[in-house]
Structures are given as C-alpha cells and as structure tokens.
Amino acid sequence: MWKYLINRIALALLILVGVSVLIYLLTMLMPADYIDNQTSAAVQSGAMTMDDVQRLKELYGLADKSFGGILKSYFAWFKSTITGDLGFSFLYGRPVTKVLSEYIWISFIVAFIAYVLQIVIGIPMGIKASVNQYSSYDYTVSTFAMMGTALPSFFLSALLMNFFAIRLGILPLQGLVTATKVFAKDAHFEIFWDKAWHLIMPITVMVLLGVGGTMRFTRTNMLEVLNSDYIRTARAKGLSEHTVIYKHAFRNTMIPLVTSLSGMLPGLFGGAMIMETVFAIPGIGYMALRATQQGDIPFIMGYNMFLSILTVVGMLISDIMYMVVDPRVKLS
C-alpha cells in the first residue's frame, strides 16, 4: 500500500510540474495584462509614454516575453510557488494567498451545501428510476434531469430571479447581505439569517443543474449492475428486494460513483464564476473572473495553480477510496 501511495504522489507531483508550465506559458502569452489595461488611457492622452509602460513591465517581470525570458521568469515564479508564495495581485493590491483565503469560504459553503443536496436528492432518484425502468416515474425524472442539465446557469438564474425576486418579492435579488439594513455589532444571528436568505437562489440553481447528472449517472450504473448474474442469483436465493438493491447492487454502483469524487475538491473551492457573477456574490469564482478580465497575471496563475493542486489531490483521494468501497482492489 505504501509503495502504491508513494508512486501516486510522485506521479501527482510530476503532473503538477507539467501543469504549472502550461499555466505559466498560457498566462504570459495573453494579448494584454493588467499594466496594459491600466495604462492604455494614460498612453492615449499622452500622460505616459510606451517607454514608461515598458519600465513598469520590467519592474514586474512582464517585459521580456521571449522564450528565454519566459523560461527565466517561470523558474523564479515556480521557486516562490513551492514555498507557498503565489505572488502579489495587481488588481486587489494584496498577496494572492490572502485573497484566496478570504473569498474562498463563501464559494465553499455554497458549493458544499449544493453538493450534499445534489447527492441526497440525485442518488435516491437514480436508484428508484433504475428499479422502475421505463415506468412513468423513470420517464418523468429523466426528462427533468435532461432539462436541468441542458439549461445554462445564467438562464436558470435569470428565470428564478425574475420569478422569486422581481415578481413575488420573497427572495433577495442579488448580493450576500441586504444593503439597506444596518445590523448591530452583536446581531450575529440576524446577519447569519440574512446571508442564508441571500444564498437560497444560488444554491437552488447549483442543485437543479447538478442533480440531473447525478441521477442519470446513478441510474445508468444501477441498470448495469441489476442485469448482472450475481443479482439474479441473490434474488433466486429469496433475498428481499431491499437487500438486493441496497446491499448488493448499490454497493457495487458506488465504485464508479467514487470516480466522480475526483472533481469534487476543485468544484467545492473553485467557485462558480457565472453563478456568482449573476447573483453578485463575492466568492472566489467572481474574484477570479474580475482578475481574468483585468489581466491580473499573478492572481490568474495562482488561482489556476491552486485549482490544479486540488484536482490532483482529489484524484489521489479517489484512487484511495477504491479500496474502501471495493475490497477486491489491492493497492500494490
């Protein structure tokens, strides 16, 4: 087992190095950066010259975009990255790690609650649809699942905002807190309830968009397992249908479900850019979108490297979880 873990960790480190090279090259080759965006008006008005802009780029290591210059700056960036220093954000005027640590938890709370609800709702729906294949229930939930999967997040968000916030007025339209309310310093419960009230629609959007995929994935794998020989043998032995479904069939269905866990970590901590932008929630996805639009190269590289680490860690956890859900898997 330890040999397996060491091999997987070594492979993960190798993947991260390769990903870091791609992230750095693609980010540095962007047509414009933060300095270009901020100085364009000054250059057009004559307040700054191109030489002034070039000196600024040299100061921040963005001037030389030749292969040799990018390679040299990459090693300097990679050396600071492995020490935990992801650079200094131009747009937010703070270290990237501090921006990530401050805004990541809003995105995590929203994504975690939505993910739990998605699992709690989607898996039982998928199991029931597979057991009652080609029934009216199966057709109904499959239709709604495809509709939810096909809807763009901004379109579904706009529909809910128009109905619940504008027409009915029972839910807040945007933001994380009510701008017109003034809370006392010790009104922690009121502040918590106000924030929770603002997060109902964003969480609903994420659940509706994700529950369909979870349901169909569970249904497809359950149907494959239910047609196996050992399931027919279990039924022939006189076991109850509940035992056959949940003890034998669903336990083996969990094996492919574990594979989906590899994408859970970046999904939880990475934020939902479109959804957070539509609802004006100050999550990490919204902050990353603003940084990308402004060409904030240090933040873009730090954010994407952070997501890459989470993805690799999630894949490693997924590999280890195989041993938990399937004793036949030997980590050797």
Kindly state the average pLDDT of the residues 302-331.
76
Q: What is the pLDDT of residues 11-37, one digit of tens each?
A: 888 999 999 988 888 887 777 677 777
- Flag whether pLDDT at 255 surpasses 80: no
The pTM (predicted TM-score) of the whole model is 0.82
The three-state DSSP-derived secondary structure of 149-209 is HHCCHHHHHHHHHHHHHHHCCCCCCCCCCCCCCCCCCCCHHHHHHHHHHHCHHHHHHHHHH
Partnered with residue 88 across adjacent β-strands are 95
- Flag whether pLDDT at 87 surpasses 90: no
Q: Which of 147-156, 203-212, 276-285 has the lowest mean pLDDT?
A: 147-156
Q: What is the pLDDT of residue 1?
A: 65
Question: Hey, what domains does the chain have and what are their CATH numbers?
Answer: 99-294 (1.10.3720.10)
Pair of tokens at residue 162? 């128009």
Share of the chain above pLDDT 90, in %: 14
- Flag whether pLDDT at 150 surpasses 70: yes
Per the CB < 8 A criterion, the answer to whether 115 and 264 are in contact is yes
Per the CB < 8 A criterion, the answer to whether 142 and 216 are in contact is yes
Partnered with residue 14 across adjacent β-strands are none
Q: What is the pLDDT of residues 267-302, one digit of tens each?
A: 778 878 888 889 989 899 899 988 888 888 889 888
Kindly state the average pLDDT of the residues 40-63.
70
Cα–Cα distance for residue pair 208/56, rounded to 1 Å: 47
More confident residue, 48 or 126: 126
The three-class DSSP label of residue 88 is strand
Cα–Cα distance for residue pair 231/254, rounded to 1 Å: 15
DSSP sequence for 260-312 = GGGGHHHHHHS--HHHHHHTT---HHHHHHHHHHHT-HHHHHHHHHHHHHHHH
Cα–Cα distance for residue pair 165/149, rounded to 1 Å: 23
């959804």: which residue's tokens? 275
Cα separations in angstroms, 96 against 89, 284, 287: 5, 11, 11
Q: What is the pLDDT of residue 254?
A: 75
Kindly state the average pLDDT of the residues 67-88.
83
Q: How confident is the model at residue 199 (pLDDT cuts 50, 70, 90)?
A: very high
User: How many beta carbons lie within 10 A of that of residue 228, not counting itself?
Assistant: 13
The three-state DSSP-derived secondary structure of 102-138 is HHHHHHHHHHHHHHHHHHHHHHHHHHHHHHCCCCHHH
Partnered with residue 84 across adjacent β-strands are none
- Go through the chain and tell me how many residues it has: 332
Helices then strands, counting H and E runs in the chain, come out as 16, 0
Say how far residue 42 (Cα) sits from the centre of its chain.
Answer: 37
